[in-house]
Structure 1
């Protein structure tokens, strides 16, 4: 049994139905597809899987707060969580469905078009979080994104802050946020486009990332971690700036889920008390491994893989 306090994640699970074809059909038309795959998705679930795998045998327990329908996609979610060791603190809602997404991929370009139906998770309320206040208060780190309604995100962050729990907000999908909510975030982890949407500052280089981070800290955020894709990650708080280059674990197969991998592993490292620079390197290694494999949840790195990559220096 781990002596490290848990990581608690709020978010959604999506069953992603991925279709690859030459082009999208027009209304009333049928086209033949080239490939299909049903994958586990949803940023919150992906981050919980990342955290659980990064935790290994001695790291923190990982709890996931969400809503599911009473259907086959819910069974899919529970199977993945069980296999990964995630403890599901989930309400089943028989009145609606588990989150799902239609993803069309254009074969020639890889461009996509997506329809997301969050279903049960789209009905998360502040009351769902208040009912789990004891769990959140017992955590070392609370992690959330913006796929559940903002009122649930705000409630979870507020409960964690009141209990002295570290808070991480991954502001995706990107949307405008008020200063009151931002002030509840010990760590905000946008990518370049999310940082730009929140601040109006173009993030095309390190100087832009630093300026965006400063603007967000001026609005109350404790520290900002801007994920920069192939350029690594930039961390900035009131007293220091740290840039960590990308961790290269092999040829890039697919970048889907890399940000989720980073956030889940970063939460584990913080829960274990790793200094920020080491936590950033740990999370970067997890993300670097994830991009060498296709898929989202399926690509998340194990603790042994992360440790081995870090040992290579």
Structure 2
């Protein structure tokens, strides 16, 4: 399986949730004080898909949505962003779409996520088996799909089907404790998913969680690159990132900006990183362009609406003085 060749096809199958985001207006307003809010599409997988489409790639989403006005809103928004929603199906009953309320501020930031009876966790094995994997070049998912059944078994089945079709599996660990029944279950399941993935992107805390301690995270990332994954990106926040790929280890910095909020950075990084690899850019440049996308999103309101396109990314890079020097974290 040639990972870069699959990515270069620019046809991505993305598995995971689409939801509704609400943000108090104007920026800086707390949830408790808000009298009006903006509404936008959200959900990590949907954000990644929208970001890829903005860069000229094709992306299709596989998930379940609630059979109500909010679910229909999410499907309509996927269409508005150009994301293929043919594999997004409603689920009847008391299942509901995820709803996120988050503040556009960094200091005293609050996010409230409603995931009770989440519709996306009802994605089934039949849903992923209905997909023609031969139509796509790579599969992408975020860790939340593994947090509950039947979505967990469906996601592992999608991994099997993707690999059988020759698609590289791209995994954003994206650990959200509130979605999981226990840390022990999350550690086991996310580690199993990571071992089946060709590209793994996670921050230092997430790798540390999978390894049993943050001091062991870097060693875990390196071990995955040496044993199973072709590309591993170990993100360290303001310290930059370490990328293990094709037998090399590359350290990169970040693009410093005045952040309006902390949300959306990881989704934008993934979209920019993959889009850059799809264009044939060198690995270190792809990581830096992903980092620039993350910087753009945290400096603007919204998540999916804030995802840059190629023109916006190039303009940002042209006016920014450049990335910070890469820094090191103590290794355990």
Query: Do the aligned partners of 1:141 and 1:267 also contact (CA within 8 Å) in 2?
Result: no
1:200 corresponds to 2:212: yes
> 2:77 maps to what in 1?
80
| Structure 1 residue 18, shift from structure 2 partner | 5.0
- The 1:97/1:235 distance shift into structure 2, 3 A limit, reads same
Against the structure 1 CA distance between its residues 194 and 35, is the aligned structure 2 distance closer, same or farther, given a 3 Å change threshold?
farther
- Contact kept in structure 2, 1:15 and 1:40, CA below 8 Å: yes
Deviation at 1:197, TM superposition (A): 0.7
RMSD value, Cα? 2.9
State the shift of 1:79 in Å.
2.8
Secondary structure of 2:268's counterpart equals helix
Q: Say if 2:241 is the partner of 1:233.
A: yes
Distance 1:21 1:255, change over 3 A: closer
The alpha-carbon distance between structure 1 residues 186 and 90, as it changes in their structure 2 partners (threshold 3 A), is: same
- Confirm whether residue 7 of structure 1 aligns to residue 12 of structure 2: yes
Distance 1:180 1:199, change over 3 A: closer
State the partner residue of 1:26: none
Question: Aligned with 2:202: secondary structure?
Answer: coil
Tell me the residue number matched to 1:137.
134
Give the CA deviation at 1:80.
Answer: 2.0
Q: Does 1:65 align with 2:62?
A: yes
Structure 1 residue 273: deviation in Å? 3.6
Contact 1:262/1:286 (<8 A) preserved: yes
Whole-angstrom distance in 2 between the partners of 1:64 and 1:211 = 33
Name the residue aligned to 1:224. 232
Whether the 8 Å contact between 1:183 and 1:222 is mirrored in structure 2 is: no
Which structure dedicates a bigger proportion of its chain to helix?
2
| CA distance in 1 between partners of 2:194 and 2:300 (Å) | 33
User: Are residues 270 and 96 of structure 1, via their aligned partners in 2, closer, same or farther at CA, if it must alter by over 3 Å?
Assistant: farther
Partners of 1:141 and 1:271 within 8 A in 2: no
Contact 1:13–1:40 (Cα < 8 Å) also in 2? yes
TM-score by length of 1: 0.81
Tell me how far 1:126 sits from its aligned partner: 2.2
Q: Indicate conservation of the 8 Å contact 2:103/2:261, yes or no.
A: no
- Residues 98-109 of structure 1 mapped to structure 2, 5 A cutoff: 98-101=96-99, 103=101, 109=108
Q: Which runs of 5+ in 1 are unaligned?
A: 24-31
Which residue matches 2:182? none
CA distances 1:175-199 after superposition (whole Å, capped 9, x unpaired): 2245553232111111122111111
Which has the larger displacement, 217-226 or 287-296? Answer: 217-226
Give the structure 2 partner of residue 122 of structure 1. Answer: 121
Supply the distance in 2 between the matched residues of 1:167 and 1:296 (Cα, whole angstroms): 24
Match for residue 279 of structure 1 among 277, 280, 286: 286
Distance 1:118 1:221, change over 3 A: farther
Which of 171, 176, 179 is matched with 2:187 structurally?
176
Partner of 1:157: 159
What's 2:301 paired with? Answer: 294
Name the SS of the counterpart of 2:250 in structure 1: strand
Check 1:152–1:273 CA distance in 2 against 1; reply closer, same or farther (3 A cut): farther
* CA distance 1:211–1:247, change in 2 (3 Å): same
Instruction: Answer yes or no: is the 8 Å Cα contact 1:99–1:119 preserved in 2.
Output: yes
Of residues 211-220 and 287-296 in structure 1, the stretch that sits farther from structure 2 once superposed is 211-220
